[in-house]
Amino acid sequence: MFSSPTDSSQIERFVTYLRAERHYSEQTIEVYAPVLNGFADFVSGADWTEVRSEDVREWVAVQMEKGMSPATVNKNLSAVRSFFRFLLMSGVVKSDPTRLVRGPKKEKNLPYFVREKEMDNLFDRVEFPDDFTGKRDRLILLIFYSTGIRLSELVGLDIASIDFYTSTIKVLGKRNKERIIPFGTELKEAFEEYLPLRAQQPHADETPALFLGEKVPRITKLKVGQIVNHCLSQVTTQKKRSPHVLRHSFATAMLNNGAEIEVVKQLLGHESIATTEIYTHTTFEELKKAYMKAHPRAEED
């Protein structure tokens, strides 16, 4: 491709610069060096001044063809960008060939969620103890699935957050932004079963918190996570069993059952509709799976 030999000493100078002046960790340097040497091999024989944007793009494409993830390729490209900025700063090159090169788009990971049938099994078939802990744990799960609130929002709920007259919950979300979420009969009945037992707890009068811990005035995020993980393990084998999974499950169930995306956006407290749109991808994947399974001529190659 090129006629003049590659000057590998520039990579050595760059590594020394990272270590001595930028104080990069050895772990980072161990990642950068092989990437840069690999890039030098790709443009084999090139003088650094001869490398063009087209060469960098081709290098990116080859990595993708080898099956590297977009995240890995972007990290590798970042290392090469840093190297050419160093060469530009040092006066070795007059232009940066990576400046006009875009890395591959990151894959959008679809959110994990628990299927409606499994959630029905959780609330209809799993037996919760008929005591304070059992009623509290079931109510926590039901609030997550019925409202889609965040973990921090649930922990922050006070008794005064619940309006039984209007059947709504006042939630304090991100950046102290309030939103009102309606709830149905099942959740109202769960509140009515829990609150009398809450009132009997030793420190119930000392805190406005809706959910009490066994030994602390307000339940912790860690404890709620443990409750959710344990209870979901009884109805699903998926590895992710967190409160956020229940938030995803709420959104997916709403859209699958005909809710408008704008409504789901408001209930979740999203700033942008783009954040909510990821759930439409999830519901489409479910629709596609159902189609492929049911249609007689829908077999994939």
Catalytic residue among 52, 174, 221, 289: 174
How far apart CA 93 and CA 96 sit, in angstroms, is 7
How far apart CA 194 and CA 187 sit, in angstroms, is 11
- Annotation says 248 is catalytic: no
Catalytic residue among 32, 145, 194, 279: 279
- Annotation says 174 is catalytic: yes
Hey, CA dihedral for 275, 242, 235, 216, is it positive or negative? negative
How far apart CA 217 and CA 94 sit, in angstroms, is 64
- Annotation says 150 is catalytic: yes
Q: How many CA atoms are closer than 13 Å to the CA of 282, on its beta-carbon side?
A: 23
Here the tokens at position 46 are: 């090139």
Catalytic residue among 19, 179, 240, 270: 270
Catalytic residue among 138, 150, 248, 265: 150
Catalytic residue among 135, 247, 248, 265: 247
Write out the H or E segment, with its range, that includes residue 171: strand 168-172
**CB-based burial, 5-40: b 16+ in 10 Å, e otherwise:** ebbeebbeebbebbeeeeebeeeeeeebbebbeebb
Return the active site residues.
150, 174, 244, 247, 270, 279
